[in-house]
Every structure is written in structure tokens, then in C-alpha cells.
Amino acid sequence: MPGKLSHEVAAREAYEEAGVRGVVETEPLGSFGYDKVLKDGIQVPCRVQVYALEVNELVKNFKEKGERSMEWVSCEEAAERVREPELHDLILAFARRMPAAPVVSQAE
């Protein structure tokens, strides 16, 4: 996206692909590589920068809704589900520095 900083592009992609908005960190957590397979079968090597995004809004309708399924899981579970070893390690490193989730109690 011309004129956008890489962390802004990451936030935009998160919105378009998952319907999430929030505060994105300006520095990447790191990067990982993979081979993207195009429709004609050609493989293109890609390098992806990964940014943390603190989600504060979920949107019902977004550009790529229906193209993916979304599920909230722990960082450990997410790391187990990815195929790329570098991404696996990035997720676990993020989990170690992420603050504990707040405990929500019901009012009596």
C-alpha cells in the first residue's frame, strides 16, 4: 500500500482478513519466510513481517469474511497450528512477553 508504513499495512490486513481493529505496535515482532503457491502452481518465496495488535474491536462484516474461519486460541495452541517453524517461534516468544489476560468476574 503506497504511502503506508509497514505496521499500518499489517493493521489493515488484520481488519480485511479477520475483522479485527486495535492498536498495532510500530516495531515488528520478527519475520518468517514461506513459499506462496500461486493458482498456476508456481511457488514464490515470501518474507512476512509480524506485528502485535491489541484487539479492541471485532467487526461483523469485513472484506474477506467467508474465506477463512476464525477462532480465538492461546498463543501455545496457535503456535502448534502453524506450519512455518519461524512463525511458531515468533508466536511463543510473543506469549512470553504478553501480559496475562485480565480476569473478568460477574457482578453479584
Per-residue pLDDT of the chain (108 residues; tens, 9 = 90+): 678 999 999 999 999 999 999 999 999 999 999 999 999 999 999 999 999 999 999 998 888 888 888 888 999 999 999 999 999 999 999 999 987 765 555 555
SS3 65: strand
Domain presence at residue 104: no
Domain presence at residue 106: no
Domain presence at residue 19: yes
CA distance 108 to 104: 13
Q: Taking Cα atoms as reference points, which of 75, 25, 74 lies closest to residue 51?
A: 25
Residue 65: domain span = 6-97
The number of domains in the chain is: 1
Q: Are 53 and 20 in contact (CB under 8 A)?
A: yes
Domain presence at residue 78: yes
